Amino acid sequence: MPYDVTLIPGDGIGPEIAAAARRVLEATGVQFDWDVQRAGEETISEMGTPLPPAVLDSIRRTRVALKGPITTPIGTGFRSVNVALRKELDLYANLRPARTYKGVKTRFGDIDLVVVRENTEDLYAGVEHMVTPDAAESIKIITRVASQRICRFAFDYAVKHGRQKVTAVHKANIMKLSDGLFLESCRQVAIDYPQIEFEDRIVDNMCMQLVQKPELYDVLVLPNLYGDIVSDLCAGLVGGLGVAPGANIGYEAAVFEPVHGSAPKYAGQNRADPTAIILSGALMLEHLGELAAAQRVRGALESVLAEGRYVTYDLGGQAGTSEMAEAIVHRVEKG
């Protein structure tokens, strides 16, 4: 039986890289019944919203989605479609692996980190207002329930994937109630996982530690805002957002997507790097239980990156999006 999967191509370069990922995933022999749904800028003029109800209905039905990047205006216009999806579907866990690949330029070597970010509250809850015409206020919301479930997700991930340590990241020395509650919740959950080492770090120190000695860390669990910032820092350690996959996971659904933006100025030019969305597709295969297929996709991609012959311009090559995808497909089919 094929897997029902919602496919959201997205904006800008999204349709091109989504098509590349689809070809690579299908090359594994795993069968998919894709439900293609439009969202983003193109649906605003036609439907009056960047997130039509049909998209949410589809994901609620399939429970799994692969999504391309969608443009979010800065300062004006609609709020992030990504944030809306997470809130509507209660995708409480944002999973961001960061590892180095041979052939991808970086100052660091042999990094293998996983960032687990709480996705539903903190300053991203969107509770803000103008106090006076010259002062705005945002409310930081931290709850025990959300903190415990994201920490449990991090520990469960560590156990399932043979990880050794979980580090909780916070600013409880200053925000003693909100971040203090997050840290307390993580410490309580850690008691249930004696086989996994647990520690905590203050967020500013954590950033310095990651740049100086990232090899000391394994799985990081963070509230929403810190998780957003630190996950991009970790992506920078391994070569940038172009090689950064992502997953948003809840009890009833999961959405897999690259972390980078939609880069509209490169749309339709066959230049965009499909690495991040292909790695996101591999995370999706893992989620579906297709572990061997996921490993074949990663192995094929790693081979193409290491060889450096059929990679896009940002990776130092001259191949287009479709040519890079074809090279990966060829290696996937060879097994």
- Angle formed by the axes of helices 321-334 and 14-27, nearest 10°: 10
Q: How many CB atoms lie within 10 A of CB 77?
A: 11
The SS3 of residue 30 is coil
Residue 29: closest CA among 56, 61, 2 = 2
Kindly name the residue from 124, 157, 226, 310 that is annotated as catalytic: 124
Kindly name the residue from 67, 101, 171, 310 that is annotated as catalytic: 171
For residue 280 the two structure tokens come to 């996101």
Residue 116: closest CA among 171, 165, 60 = 165
Count of CA atoms in the C-beta half-sphere (13 A) of 131: 6
What's the alpha-carbon Rg for the chain, to the nearest Å?
A: 20
Q: Tell me if 181 sits within 8 A of 144, measured CB to CB.
A: yes
CA-CA distance, 40 to 60, in Å (whole number)? Answer: 18
Instruction: State yes or no: is 124 an active-site residue.
Output: yes
Kindly name the residue from 35, 122, 228, 273 that is annotated as catalytic: 228
Instruction: State yes or no: is 217 an active-site residue.
Output: no
Instruction: State yes or no: is 200 an active-site residue.
Output: no
Residue 80: closest CA among 119, 54, 30, 136 = 119
CA-CA distance, 10 to 272, in Å (whole number)? Answer: 14
At 95, give phi and psi (nearest 5°): -105, 125
Kindly name the residue from 204, 251, 313, 334 that is annotated as catalytic: 204
CA-CA distance, 273 to 295, in Å (whole number)? Answer: 20
For residue 126 the two structure tokens come to 């969107």
Q: How many CB atoms lie within 10 A of CB 306?
A: 13
CA-CA distance, 221 to 226, in Å (whole number)? Answer: 9
Instruction: State yes or no: is 204 an active-site residue.
Output: yes
Active centre residues (catalytic): 124, 171, 204, 228
